[in-house]
Structure 1
């Protein structure tokens, strides 16, 4: 990740309206494979180009004053891909952890993880957890990486933990409400999700932040993820700022 230098135009967007900039943005990063295919390149090249797009999105989010950026890096369904592609993805993850950790620390970016990332094995899990620990005190922006994440499994896990509390006599069934469920979700420490972006022209959520997206603004872009840049992100924020959020009230 290059140094998070100010992006022209971002400050004016943030100051234009106190509600113009979403506190929490999530991205379904789709289109790496198609990007590579269009260029006659292996899928690994698409994933590498996609990793560079993450750097640009992080740059733009920090410049605009976004508090939390959550990216869907590896879904629980991605294990259905070929062994070669999974190996490429994990190798790329390891490479960027090594290369970018110092920059995250320098630029005050906190790293957090959601999902059952233990499935990636002890060596990579150790690297991930050390990166989380080393950046824990950073406050400029929180980068949340969803690894081996599935929203249905997350909600089921929350329900299971609440049921265990009922059985243990720690709460009554009548105590289980939306607030109780949210308190058991992996995103409980983050602001509510304001904007969810999906690239590549696909129009679905793919088991990503289903509960959290209940009142988020959804934005589906035709751009393939490796082509996502600061200007694309700024355009997404402008479209978000132009919307009226009613939360079902009118």
Structure 2
């Protein structure tokens, strides 16, 4: 129990666990009763990569009426599958973020100061090269065919200025409608890309994969950190071009 200004409160009912720890540290209470307790209500869902069959089901099923147009769903899902980019970063891409540098098209993941959005990405990890499949799908033309400043159309923005929350809900609902398991959310495309690249027969170094996915070097040292920031475009291009799926798996929008 906790007594404040003459009133007794039941400690366990009103004080959040994090605050209880602070109160204990300041010796305002004798004991934090929740130390060592776990409050998870069920088994933890362990995310994994998408199988080819699961991705086939997702991309070839009949599209229901939805607040997200089918073509928008296809574009975002395809970018996720071929880049491993997080959903929030994809939905916040602007036309200015699609750039061609040294003849190679890429996404430049960068803050948008006018809206206050920031990707929380190290600038050295903010370049994502296009795969040939993304180019063939027409992503380069989006700069000229969509209205407004954002690259991908028909994505609602929340009251807090976050784009993609509606898409995230639609993705979950569509996945469940098709009978796909909880272990493969949108974030699992990062797992898929990572697994693919670590299993290809091409000479793909693990540090290149870390660089592509925006991870810190797996074997962190001064040498790997320096090299991570100096990986050549040719090596990154070799890495992204190793990402592949069956030719008929993505709808042609």
Q: TM-score, normalising length from structure 2?
A: 0.22
Greater RCO, 1 or 2 (C-alpha within 8 Å, sep 6+)? 1
Q: Which has the larger radius of gyration?
A: 2
More strand by share: 1
Normalising to structure 1: TM-score of the pair? 0.23
Point out the structure with the larger helix share. Answer: 1
